[in-house]
Structure 1
Amino acid sequence: ISTPVKVLGIAKNSFGLVEDAVAMTEEAFAPSLNDADFGIKVENVEKVTGKVTIADAEIVVSAGRGMKGPENWGMIEELASVLGAATACSKPVSDIGWRPHSEHVGQTGKPVASNLYIAVGISGAIQHIAGINSSKVKVVINSDPEAPFFKVADYGVVGDAFTVVPQLIEKLKAFKASNS
């Protein structure tokens, strides 16, 4: 980059951890450096409080029409809470108003590059897969063994979400409690 102002933006989790054994040199700096010392001007800081955002999440728990209605979303939020994850949804779910559009993941929604992406009751349309393709580990829970999502999943559970997810939540809670 040859311009006087250089801007570099890197999405969280877009690169894996790379360890490189190199020699380190340590230099002493003046004890009170601030933005002005580097010619930096902060114009805007946006923060979301109380909730992990999809873009920043290490883990995303997403669900689709397999949830059968917005009244059943509590178990998705509980699973996300237990995992310290963000919640997300498929396009049809946000289109019919079950979840906010800010949670819509996919080609026309927000892209996700999480370390773990859990899809519950999402068939796996190509547009959705395109939005989560950068996620490192993909887990699918779906009652349809022919759901397209299973073709790209690292792990899959064929089963009813209303049976599998509550059991998963209980096992995770028990695991956390035994390791506290």
Structure 2
Amino acid sequence: MTAAKYEATYFSNVIGLPLSYEPVEVKRSCFTNKAFNHSISKNNKIVLSLSSNSFGIYEKPSEAIQTSIEYVESSSTLEVISIEKSSDKVSIADADIVVSGGRGLKGPENWYLIEDLASVLGAATACSKPVSDLGWRPHSEHVGQTGKPVASNLYIAVGVSGAIQHLAGINSSKIKVVINNDPEAPFFKAADYGIVGDAFEVIPELTSKLKALKEV
């Protein structure tokens, strides 16, 4: 603040007073005294802050000159750019129902199938590790041994093959349902109910039927 007021150059961690004045050159400590450098300024107005224990105590102090320094109020202001509303989505940890998607959805552009079904059921959305690794979904939605554990009343897996790590993470869920077009997918052995079919046909039909039931 003082240097700015007097349009002076500021040097911190000084361990050696000016070696020259045209231009001003001082010795400074850097990297916690692991190195030193010589800083130069063409401005003949300088403000220094000294590194601790850089100079010994003189037996006879020099004559002090007292002066007052005017306090300058900072003109900087804090501006609020935006306020983001917290998500209304159901969290995986608190959800009674979880709808999870795997690579069988073929891309992030098809994730609306999971979102639509979850919305009708009031469920949380989740994904397999490969899906989060591919960047289709955030890692916060990754369910499995290396992700979030799920202990929901109902777990619906869409296009998830059923790797051991994924199954370990959902082991505490009461009812497990899998929808997959591969009848040999490992998930079918761990599921309570299974549908062998194309998710792009099954999920829209299931979502539509559930919406109709809610409207009755």
Q: TM-score, normalised by structure 2?
A: 0.60
Structure that is richer in strand per residue: 2
Residue 123 of structure 1 corresponds to 161
Map 1:137-156; keep pairs closer than 5 Å: 137-156=175-194
CA distance in 1, matches of 2:167, 2:174: 13
Q: Which residue of 2 aligns with 1:168?
A: 206
1:98 maps onto 2:136 in alignment: yes
* Structure 1 counterpart of 2:90, from 44, 52, 64: 52
Tell me which residue corresponds to 1:113: 151
Structure 1 unmatched runs, 5+: 1-47
Matching of residues 19-38 of structure 1 within 5 Å: none
The code of the aligned residue for 1:73 comes to W
> 2: distance between equivalents of 1:63 and 1:49?
20
- The structure that is helix-richer by fraction is 1
Deviation (angstroms), 1:49: 3.9
CA distance in 1, matches of 2:89, 2:205: 24
> 3-state SS of the aligned residue for 1:145?
coil
What do residues 19-68 of structure 1 show as CA deviations (whole Å, max 9, x unaligned)? xxxxxxxxxxxxxxxxxxxxxxxxxxxxx641100000000000000000
Higher relative contact order (CA 8 A, sep 6+): 1
1:105-130: CA deviation from partner (whole Å, max 9, x where unpaired): 00000000000000000000000000
Q: How many angstroms does 1:87 deviate by?
A: 0.3
2:105 matches 1:67: yes
**SS of corresponding position for 1:77:** helix
Aligned residue in 2 for 1:34: none
The secondary structure found in structure 2 opposite 1:52 is coil
| Structure 1 length-normalised TM | 0.72
Query: Quick one: which amino acid aligns to residue 79 of structure 1?
Result: L
Q: Does 1:76 align with 2:117?
A: no
Mark the runs of 5 or more structure 2 residues left unpaired by the alignment.
Answer: 1-85
Give the whole-Å Cα distance in 1 for the aligned partners of 2:138 and 2:177: 23
Q: Distance in 2 between matches of 1:150 and 1:68?
A: 20
Q: Percent of aligned positions with the same letter in both sequences?
A: 81
Distance in 2 between residues matched to 1:51 and 1:168, nearest whole Å: 21
Tell me the SS of whatever aligns to 2:191.
coil
The structure 1 segments of at least 4 consecutive aligned residues displaced by more than 2 Å after TM superposition are: none
2:13 corresponds in structure 1 to none
Superposition RMSD on alpha carbons, in Å? 0.7
How many residues are aligned here? 131
> Which secondary structure state, in structure 1, belongs to the residue aligned with residue 125 of structure 2?
strand
Answer with 1 or 2: which has the greater Rg. Answer: 2
Distance in 2 of aligned mates of 1:147 and 1:50: 33
